[in-house]
């Protein structure tokens, strides 16, 4: 009997949120001899132990009935909005065996990691928003970022820079519209930030402040590194790949969704730091990612893959900016590293297969 893997995700009126990735995932499964299908909480028929799942057929998604999966990969990108209301109660039940546990929001994750003495030196100062905190942070930092706890793709982030006695604000809204303005006083900045949070938050989402870093390895551009770490078919954490993301001119982030471009990491770093320092940076990024996921698993339980956004400042110091448990892998496609892109899609299936086989041996 073929092993059956369900992929839990959000399905709205307009379909699935990552259709290209999911098509590739189902196709990779077929090539591995695994049956892979997509489903959402509303598709499960508990009394019959059946699921109205979906598989790609041509340019469309075809609904089919599936029996209970051997294991489920949770790819649901949750936001505190009414349309996602069903996810958390659904996920907290033990109806399925999952390849990956639930994670938490960015600020909570930072609070967990900052308690580890080995990780503290890589973490920028990060605090809940209030006016006194913002004023205090500007005594130590020239730049401060305002970020949502559940944001992704660089949306709803605002960068505030103190320059020549004025404050420059750069950001992108939920709809990816650019926002740029100059303000004279910190009080005006606070009022603007509070208005931004009110308009940009999803449901009861909170915002936090984060120390700005000197990530302009290219003048007037935000530059960072994206690492994809995944478990392989033996259950071990591996670095699947790494790339550099360069944001558009004056952009507050480097995200590819916001017009950033991807470049191979080692050649970019050699050009700026020389061979020896570039190799040190790449090795430290890898070791940092593996050390961090180990700490995360101690707290959250079994995980499967993470995308790391790491800052590399002008002095070659590395910073953890963000950790995403449901990462994209389009950076490899942008860099034309197609074999690595295929590996990045295949590895979650290989790991899920490993868990099923391991369970069958112990039953």
Confidence at residue 258, expressed as pLDDT on a 0 to 100 scale: 55
Question: Within 10 Å of residue 324's Cβ, how many Cβ atoms?
Answer: 18
- What is the torsional sign of CA 103, 109, 115, 117? positive
Q: Assign domain 113-121+215-352 to a CATH class.
A: alpha beta
**What pLDDT does residue 256 have?**
61
Name the residue ranges covered by the structural domains of the chain.
4-98, 113-121+215-352, 125-211
CB 318 within 8 A of CB 122: yes
What's the Cα-to-Cα distance from 110 to each of 11, 77, 151, rounded to whole Å?
A: 30, 19, 15
pLDDT value at residue 3: 95
Q: What are phi and psi of 143, to 5 degrees?
A: -125, 140
Chain-centroid distance of CA 348 in Å reads 15
**Residue-by-residue pLDDT tens, the chain, 363 positions:** 789 999 999 998 888 989 999 999 999 999 999 999 999 999 999 888 999 999 999 889 999 999 999 999 999 998 778 888 999 999 998 899 999 999 988 889 999 999 999 999 999 999 999 999 999 999 999 999 999 988 766 788 999 999 888 999 988 887 777 888 899 999 999 999 999 999 888 777 889 999 998 777 887 777 889 999 999 999 999 999 999 998 766 555 555 665 678 999 999 999 999 999 999 999 999 999 999 999 999 999 999 999 999 999 888 999 999 899 999 999 999 999 999 999 999 999 999 999 999 887 765
In angstroms, the CA 229 to CA 313 distance is 22
- For the entire predicted model, the pTM comes to 0.88
- Assign residue 195 a region (left: φ > 0; alpha: ψ between -120 and 50; beta: otherwise): alpha
CA 249, 252, 258: angle at the middle one, nearest 5?
75
Spatial distance between the Cα atoms of 241 and 229, rounded to a whole number of angstroms:
7
Euclidean distance between CA atoms 187 and 272, whole angstroms? 39
């Amino acid at each position: 009997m073929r092993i059956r893997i369900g992929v839990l995700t959000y399905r709205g009126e307009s379909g699935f949120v990552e259709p290209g990735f999911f098509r590739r995932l189902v196709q990779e499964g077929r090539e591995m001899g695994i049956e892979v299908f997509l489903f959402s909480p509303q598709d499960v028929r508990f009394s019959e132990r059946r699921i109205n799942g979906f598989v790609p057929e041509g340019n469309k998604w075809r609904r089919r009935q599936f029996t209970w999966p051997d294991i489920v990969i949770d790819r649901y990108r949750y936001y505190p909005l009414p349309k996602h209301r069903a996810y958390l109660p659904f996920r907290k039940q033990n109806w399925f065996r999952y390849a990956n546990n639930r994670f938490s929001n960015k600020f909570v994750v930072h609070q967990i990691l900052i308690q580890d003495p080995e990780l503290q030196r890589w973490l920028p100062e990060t605090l809940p928003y209030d006016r006194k905190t913002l004023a205090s942070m500007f005594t130590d930092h020239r730049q401060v970022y305002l970020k949502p706890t559940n944001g992704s793709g660089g949306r709803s982030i605002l960068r505030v820079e103190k320059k020549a006695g004025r404050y420059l604000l750069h950001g992108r809204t939920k709809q990816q519209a650019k926002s740029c303005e100059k303000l004279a006083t910190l009080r005006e900045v606070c009022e603007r930030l509070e208005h931004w949070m009110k308009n940009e938050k999803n449901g009861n989402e909170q915002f936090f402040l984060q120390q700005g870093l000197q990530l302009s390895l290219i003048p007037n551009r935000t530059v960072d590194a994206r690492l994809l770490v995944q478990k392989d078919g033996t259950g071990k954490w591996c670095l699947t790949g790494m790339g550099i993301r360069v944001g558009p001119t004056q952009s507050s982030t480097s995200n590819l969704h916001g017009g950033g471009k991807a470049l191979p990491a080692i050649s970019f770093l050699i050009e700026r730091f020389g061979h020896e320092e570039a190799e040190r940076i790449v090795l430290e990024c890898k070791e940092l990612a593996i050390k961090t996921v180990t700490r995360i698993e101690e707290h959250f339980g079994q995980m499967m893959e993470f995308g790391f956004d790491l800052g590399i400042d002008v002095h070659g110091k590395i910073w953890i900016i963000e950790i995403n448990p449901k990462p994209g892998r389009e950076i490899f496609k942008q860099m034309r590293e197609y074999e690595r892109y295929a590996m990045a899609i295949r590895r979650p299936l290989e790991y899920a297969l490993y868990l099923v086989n391991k369970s069958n041996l112990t039953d």
